[in-house]
């Protein structure tokens, strides 16, 4: 009997000047009771100090990989959400640029 579930795998390693994280999307597999995993996609590596600057490109890559895996039925949609949450713990989603009207509305100024 074989059961599977998708997951994000994050590997943290020491590098010169801090840490780097390597992100992969994996499928956990149990075959005859033994746990193993199969790598579905390598997302990439990010140095800790570069996280704010690269978050937009990182998430563009993550979404492309997840969409491809979901379309080919290698990853379920609920597992895709789980992967996103795991990756968000390290690399936050990029902030959406706000318009001048949104900023003024937050301050209680309506034009």
What residue segments make up the domains of the chain, in order of their start?
A: 2-106
Name the more confident of 41 and 96.
41
CA–CA distance, 10 with 83 (Å, rounded to integer): 10
CA–CA distance, 23 with 48 (Å, rounded to integer): 13
CA–CA distance, 5 with 78 (Å, rounded to integer): 10
Statement: residue 106 has pLDDT above 50: yes
2: which 2 tokens? 């074989």
The pTM of the full predicted model, rounded to 2 decimals, is 0.76
CA–CA distance, 84 with 62 (Å, rounded to integer): 8
pLDDT of residue 5: 58
Rg (CA), the chain: 18
Residue 1 pLDDT level (bands cut at 50, 70, 90): very low
């Amino acid at each position: 009997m074989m059961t599977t579930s998708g997951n994000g795998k994050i590997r943290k390693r020491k590098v010169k000047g801090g840490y780097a994280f390597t992100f992969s999307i994996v499928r956990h597999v149990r075959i005859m009771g033994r746990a193993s995993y199969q790598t579905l996609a390598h997302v990439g590596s990010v140095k800790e100090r570069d996280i704010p600057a690269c978050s937009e490109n990182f998430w563009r890559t993550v979404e492309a990989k997840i969409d491809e895996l979901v379309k080919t039925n290698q990853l379920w949609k609920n597992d895709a959400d789980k992967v996103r949450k795991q990756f968000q713990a390290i690399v936050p989603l990029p902030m959406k640029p706000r318009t001048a009207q949104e900023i003024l509305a937050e301050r209680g100024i309506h034009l």
